[in-house]
Amino acid sequence: SQTIHQWPATLVQPVGSPLSLECTVEGTSNPNLYWYRQAAGRGLQLLFYSVGIGQISSEVPQNLSASRPQDRQFILSSKKLLLSDSGFYLCAWADTYRAFYNSPLHFGNGTRLTVT
Amino acid sequence: KNQVEQSPQSLIILEGKNCTLQCNYTVSPFSNLRWYKQDTGRGPVSLTIMTFSENTKSNGRYTATLDADTKQSSLHITASQLSDSASYICVVSAEDSNYQLIWGAGTKLIIKP
């Protein structure tokens, strides 16, 4: 069965510090991978998605970046965190071998990031 | 503008009672509609995915309905349990969006014993 791992679960970082959040998927190959951010009382906001190694699409211009160094590894990074980067970050995967329109997203348990 | 609106924003019911959550959308062209359950501090979990031709879809005690003409969906929970306490999120996919899903803000459901 497929599983998705996301860490750390919580993180407190000072403004201006770097960030690295990691997500790995097991039990599937060539998944679509996604990074979302969820603000309190708001819908999920898509930050990045990837359809393959080294292929990253950005949905929202910001000081965050993403990389996919391996097929089932997705990393969210920042060189200098802002207060506005605080939020709940979620990694997800979807099966590319089924038509995406009918394929559910499978989420990790998220990282609660607080920038102080 | 593609939007998904959910109501009510929050709901408190007693254990064992039924409830219905609403979702209205203005997404075009429509591809599919999804309902997710999100426990506090966890990632969302898919409950149902409904395409244009599906009017009703069940997953255990959860039943989703879709009216593509009025662009409305509902999620009915039968015989609620304490474990149903969560946020329920309606998500609509536009056919030409490929990877973009339009997410509602969710309904926070609290089940009281």
- Digit-coded pLDDT (tens) for B39-57: 999 999 999 999 888 999 9
Nearest to B103 by CA among B34, B55, B28, B49: B34
Residue B63: predicted pLDDT: 98
pLDDT of B62 reads 98
- The answer to whether B18 touches B81, Cβ cutoff 8 Å, is no
What is the Cα A15 distance to its own chain's centre? 20
The amino acid sitting at A41 is G
Which H helix or E strand runs over A51?
A: strand A45-52
Question: B10 or A28: which carries more pLDDT confidence?
Answer: B10
Average pLDDT, chain B: 93
pLDDT for position B86: 98
Average pLDDT over residues B15-20: 98
Q: Which amino acid is at B107?
A: T
- List the single residue in B31, B43, B49 with the smallest CB-CB distance to A110: B43
- Give the pLDDT of chain A (116 residues) as one tens digit per residue: 889 999 999 999 999 999 999 999 999 888 999 999 998 878 899 999 898 998 898 888 678 999 999 999 999 999 999 999 999 999 999 987 555 567 889 999 999 999 99
Q: Contact, B107 vs B4, CB < 8 A? A: no
SS3 A41: coil
Confidence of residue B31 (pLDDT cuts 50, 70, 90): confident
Query: DSSP per residue over B10-74, as a string?
Result: EEEEETT--EEEEEEE--SSEEEEEEEEE-TTS--EEEEEEETT-SEEEETTEEEEEETTTTEEE
d(CA A85, CA A106): 23
pLDDT at position A101, please?
64
Chain B environment of A106 (Cβ under 8 Å): 46
Contact A73, A56 (CB under 8 A): no
CB contact under 8 A, A102 and B106: no
Using the Cβ of B70 and the Cβ atoms of chain A, whether some distance falls under 8 Å is answered with no
Contact B46 A92 (CB under 8 A): no
Residue in the block written with tokens 């959550």 = B21
Contact in structure between B22 and B7 (CB atoms under 8 Å): yes
Rounded to the nearest angstrom, the gap between the alpha carbon of residue B58 and the centroid of all alpha carbons in its chain is: 12
Set of chain B residues whose Cβ sits within 8 Å of the Cβ of A112: 41
Mean pLDDT, to the nearest integer, of B24-28?
92
Q: What is the pLDDT of residues B68-110, one digit of tens each?
A: 999 999 999 999 999 999 999 999 988 765 657 899 999 999 9
